[in-house]
Structure 1
Amino acid sequence: MSRPRSAFRVTALLLCLSALTACERADAGKLPSSTASMSGEPRGTPSVATSPAVLQTTGAARPGAANDTVADSITIQRADRGRLMGRENALWVVMISDFQCPYCKQWHDSSMVNLKRDYIEPGKVRMAYLHLPLSNHRHARAQAEASMCAAVQGKFWEYADVLFREQRAFQPIDNPTTKLETIARELSIDLPSFTRCRKSDAIRMLVENDERQASQARVQSTPSFLVGDFLVQGALPYADFRKAIDTALAVAKSRRTR
């Protein structure tokens, strides 16, 4: 676990997740990478994309373009809110993850239920999910986009649970569409809306923006976590992860009492 030398706040990165925030103003690029963490899977150079904060059409204006931009903005806002869990003024914990990463599944299966019970439900922690689909995982990007379309309908965390549960089932599949739609049906997600969402540029741009934010935070592996002011990398055992959260909570408390 490392602590940034700058005055970086996790909130700055989280603001970049919002469709209406100018991400370029956030000081996320000053967060150093951690040196005391478990090994994850190395990531290649992330793609750099235009922030979805500014959805623009290119070329000549076309009928309905303004309406499309408004619709995209609404889609992004709903997707963005859907991947947050917990009380608004709680300590931020941002999970930077890939649904096909075995280490991410390991952490999810061993720690997520406990984290919800011990910290999220009591109002101590607010959780957010940031996508970092690894280039060697052929369906990771499609899964990330599908999960955000589930988020539009308020089902992000349920969809994420199933993606991790079914991780091995995706490995032999050439085209993940049928499997992604099957999961949507299981969760009573409106399928026509889900399908339209998966084809939208807005969702693609949102996932690409996640990659850019992870790059600015110098995250190199999945899973990684922004816990308060700290960067934690690797699928740490829950006992160790609790120590990171408790340390961050103590730091936050000390600031409030100054």
Structure 2
Amino acid sequence: MSTRSQRGRPAPTRKQSSLLPLYLLGGVVAVIAIALIALSVFGGGANSSGNAAVNTATLGTYPSKGSADAPVTVVKYSDFQCPGCAAYATGEGKLIQRDYIDTGKVHFIYHEMPLRQHALAVTSAEAARASGEQGKYWEMHDLLFARQQEWSGLGLAQARIRFSEYATELGLDTAAFNSVLESGKYRAALETAYNESTTAQIPSTPSFVIDGKIYKQTELRPAIDAALAGQ
């Protein structure tokens, strides 16, 4: 038996019925598009099946920490304005520091990969390099990632002011810091860093390389353990 609402409801027309598959298809396309955008924005690193053509001759020019005699070397390809890189640096990165770098098991190299779509990728990397001239590279590195949301939406001039404030907070000679930051001293080196990253076939940030193999951040700890076990 039909209810009143069923008797009074007109039957769907053929045109309405034919539109349903189109709506479903549109929904699927939208979901795929959102997933692709998220991957682009946050980065996930490469699949571990990839091989990296790393220019080992220049690795010594990049910031590093941990013992140079450590049994395993990890090269991190990263962008200071990349949200996924910030998530790693403020989370799992601290645990990697504690468990492997501080214990002398890993020599960690930070290879800048300033992505073109990030307007402040180069400037933030310059801020870290400028801090490095005063022995505070890693302190600025940590601050840039921890406070990424404070500066990532700023214009260039405003971002430089913010970075100068960070330099003051770290106890740096701010005038010297500002001079280096505004000079463009490291711009060519950072352009080289980007070009080397693309030549090495690094697909996204953050990505990690151990013995010529590319790993995403969720694979890093098992990859380090495997490399240590193979020593």
**Matches of 1:150 and 1:125, distance apart in 2:** 23
Q: 1:192 Cα deviation (Å)?
A: 1.8
Matches for 1:60-75 after TM superposition, within 5 Å: none
**Aligned partners of 2:59 and 2:109 also within 8 Å:** no
**Aligned partners of 1:230 and 1:248 also within 8 Å:** no
**Matches of 1:2 and 1:105, distance apart in 2:** 24
SS at match of 1:222: coil
Name the structure 1 match of 2:92: 111
Tell me the percent identity. Answer: 33
**Aligned partners of 2:208 and 2:220 also within 8 Å:** no
CA RMSD of aligned residues (A): 1.9
Report the more deviating stretch, 242-251 or 147-156. Answer: 242-251
After superposition, the C-alpha distances for 1:67-107 in whole angstroms (9 at most, x for unaligned) are xxxxxxxxxxxxx4xx2100011111111111111111111
Name the structure 2 match of 1:256: none
Name the structure 2 match of 1:169: 150
**Matches of 2:82 and 2:139, distance apart in 1:** 18
Name the structure 1 match of 2:188: 205
Name the structure 2 match of 1:32: none
Name the structure 2 match of 1:2: 49
Letter in 2 for 1:16: T
Name the structure 1 match of 2:65: 85
In structure 1, list runs of 5 or more residues that go unmatched. 20-79, 254-258
**Matches of 2:127 and 2:221, distance apart in 1:** 30
**Aligned partners of 1:229 and 1:248 also within 8 Å:** no
In structure 2, list runs of 5 or more residues that go unmatched. 1-47
Name the structure 1 match of 2:164: 181
Name the structure 2 match of 1:249: 228
Matching residue within 58, 67, 74 for 1:16 = 58
Normalised TM-score (structure 2): 0.72
Matches for 1:121-160 after TM superposition, within 5 Å: 121-160=102-141
SS at match of 2:69: coil
After superposition, the C-alpha distances for 1:29-77 in whole angstroms (9 at most, x for unaligned) are xxxxxxxxxxxxxxxxxxxxxxxxxxxxxxxxxxxxxxxxxxxxxxxxx
SS at match of 2:68: coil
Q: 1:2 Cα deviation (Å)?
A: 2.7
Number of aligned positions between the proteins: 181
Q: 1:199 Cα deviation (Å)?
A: 3.1
**Are residue 228 (structure 1) and residue 208 (structure 2) matched?**
no
4+ residue runs over 4 A deviation:
none
Letter in 1 for 2:166: I
**Matches of 1:181 and 1:219, distance apart in 2:** 31
**Matches of 1:3 and 1:134, distance apart in 2:** 20
Letter in 2 for 1:248: A
**Aligned partners of 1:100 and 1:137 also within 8 Å:** yes
Name the structure 2 match of 1:196: 179
Q: 1:141 Cα deviation (Å)?
A: 1.0
SS at match of 1:134: coil
Q: 1:225 Cα deviation (Å)?
A: 0.7
**Aligned partners of 1:16 and 1:213 also within 8 Å:** no
Q: 1:248 Cα deviation (Å)?
A: 2.0
After superposition, the C-alpha distances for 1:143-163 in whole angstroms (9 at most, x for unaligned) are 011111111211111101111
**Aligned partners of 2:115 and 2:194 also within 8 Å:** no
Q: Which has the higher helix share?
A: 2
**Matches of 2:192 and 2:92, distance apart in 1:** 27
